[in-house]
């Protein structure tokens, strides 16, 4: 995912910073629009979004388990946060 974002950033930077002239700019912009509108790119982006959502849900569950938020009573979590001991 990070490679895709990096590549997209490079492409945008090249288009915005291109000094190859208006004709080359239009060619790059047309290609970028075709890529963006491609069904393959759209389905890949959707799949990546789904995977990211699933990973976030798993990470949240693991973090709650590590922090013992699923088993600790609220009063003991607050006491621990205040620095006092029960």
CA–chain centroid gap for 31, Å, is 24
DSSP secondary structure of 10-62? HHHHHHHH--S-HHHHHHHHHHHHHHHH-HHHHHHHHHHHHHHHHHHHHHHHH
Residue 67: which pLDDT band, with cuts at 50, 70 and 90? confident
And the tokens for 16? 């915005």
Tell me the pLDDT tens digit for each residue of 10-47.
887 777 776 667 787 788 889 989 998 999 999 999 99
And the tokens for 55? 């990973």
Which pTM value belongs to this model?
0.45
The per-residue pLDDT for 10 is 84
Domain residue ranges in the chain: 1-37, 51-86
Q: How many CA atoms lie within 13 A of 76 on its CB side?
A: 8
């Amino acid at each position: 995912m990070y490679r895709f974002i990096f590549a997209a950033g490079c492409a945008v930077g090249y288009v915005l910073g291109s000094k190859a002239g208006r004709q080359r700019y239009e060619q790059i912009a047309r290609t970028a629009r075709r890529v963006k509108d491609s069904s393959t790119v759209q389905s890949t982006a959707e799949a990546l979004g789904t995977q990211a959502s699933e990973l976030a849900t798993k990470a949240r569950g693991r973090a709650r388990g590590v922090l013992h938020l699923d088993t600790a009573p609220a009063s003991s979590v607050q006491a621990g946060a205040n620095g006092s001991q029960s």
